[in-house]
Amino acid sequence: MTASALIIDITLWGSVAILGFMAWRRGRVVLVSSVREGSMDFINIVPRIALGVIGSGYIAAVIPPEVITGWLGPDSGWFGVLTAVIAGAATPGGPVVGFSIGAVALKVGGGTPQVIAYVVAWALFAFQRMILWEIPFMPARFVWFRAAVSVPFPFLAAAIAMVIGKP
């Protein structure tokens, strides 16, 4: 286990302990019912997470990474931004993969607005995170709604980047 994973686990369980203590101060009934509520959610979610984790590995294996870097061509204007957005949503794997592809694209001469659009689109729509986390936990209607209203924003970020110029 890496140090950052350990820090995450400590903050996470620390927050659980603090909120649990606050619930207990409200009375035993509050504590018991919130723990029961949380555990029921957990039990309901485990099979979906199982499908998400095990399934997304296969989906990721089918998409070759070269396809995605290929899409992030060098200075390609709005068409480049559009392909960057699609590539961001289609990028499999966790943050290492997403950011590394962004870094590679910058190195091989991809335009900064396109890479910004890619990273923002990846943050907003990466299909693996949506399948694995967002859909199991949130009401389905919320997820589709959230994704739909997020569509303009990678383009907006690219537009701002084009106007302001390079960092």
Q: Taking contact as CB under 8 A, which single stretch among the options 68-76, 79-87, 132-140 is the one that binds another protein?
A: 132-140
- Cβ–Cβ < 8 Å for 154, 88: yes
Question: Judged by CB, which is closer to another protein: 37, or 79?
Answer: 37
Give residues with Cβ within 8 angstroms of 88, minimum separation 6: 98, 117, 118, 119, 120, 121, 122, 123, 124, 125, 126, 154
Question: Judged by CB, which is closer to another protein: 76, or 133?
Answer: 133
User: Binding of another protein at residue 162 (CB under 8 A)?
Assistant: no
* Residue corresponding to tokens 């957005």: 85
User: Binding of another protein at residue 6 (CB under 8 A)?
Assistant: no
Whole-angstrom distance, CA of residue 40 vs CA of residue 35: 9
Within residues 51-80, the interface with another protein by CB under 8 A covers 51-59, 61-62
Q: Which of 80, 88, 102, 110 touches another protein (CB under 8 A)?
A: 102
User: Binding of another protein at residue 99 (CB under 8 A)?
Assistant: yes
